[in-house]
């Protein structure tokens, strides 16, 4: 039925419908405008032109629109990859900005109020403060951590668990 066996090319060619495409209109500058070349779009204007090509190919049925759609899909994939990278970078910058804002809000602690403070005295006060903080950390590390009292998940009262709860009715 296809005309291949026995060899008959006229049978195949006569079944094809060939439509002539009109030549592209010339631009307003008097120079003929070059048709859009199918390539992976890099901006929204190129995506629009690529989509017009896809629609025209679909209407003509002379060229497979899947190749053109593949290029649009590749462009969209690239764009979403860039969006993901930019979103991550923005999140990192916002975190850094938040840290710097907190750092600016910190109060400067004064070592001494009023009077004259010599360098040796200031160094001694700083050393004493650091030693006291270190000793407090060591004591806290040596103390056993104390657990919070149990809290009932049924009535949300501390002191018992749901197994011992008398405030809720149990299905027997």
For a pLDDT cut of 70, what percent of the chain falls above it? Answer: 71
- Using only C-alpha atoms, the chain has a radius of gyration, in whole angstroms, of 39
Contact between 72 and 55 under an 8 Å Cβ cutoff? The reply is no
Q: Record the pTM.
A: 0.32
Contact between 41 and 50 under an 8 Å Cβ cutoff? The reply is yes
Phi, psi of 113 (to 5 degrees): -105, 120
Which tens digit of pLDDT belongs to each residue from 65-94? Answer: 677 677 777 888 788 888 889 999 999 999
Contact between 54 and 69 under an 8 Å Cβ cutoff? The reply is yes
Does the pLDDT of residue 46 top 70, yes or no?
Answer: yes
pLDDT at 86: 93
């Amino acid at each position: 039925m296809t005309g291949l066996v026995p060899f008959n090319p006229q049978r195949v060619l006569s079944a094809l419908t060939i439509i002539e495409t009109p030549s592209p209109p010339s631009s307003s500058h008097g120079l003929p405008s070059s048709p859009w070349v199918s390539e992976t779009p890099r901006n929204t204007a190129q995506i629009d032109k690529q989509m017009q090509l896809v629609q025209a190919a679909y209407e003509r049925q002379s060229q497979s629109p899947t190749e053109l759609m593949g290029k649009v899909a590749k462009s969209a994939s690239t764009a979403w990859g860039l969006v993901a990278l930019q979103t991550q970078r923005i999140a990192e910058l916002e975190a850094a900005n938040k840290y710097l804002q907190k750092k600016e809000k910190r109060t400067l602690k004064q070592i001494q109020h009023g009077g004259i403070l010599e360098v040796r005295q200031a160094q001694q006060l700083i050393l004493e403060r650091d030693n006291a903080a270190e000793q407090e950390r060591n004591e806290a590390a040596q103390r056993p951590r104390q657990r919070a009292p149990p809290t009932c998940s049924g009535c949300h009262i501390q002191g018992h668990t749901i197994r011992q709860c008398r405030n809720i009715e149990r299905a027997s």
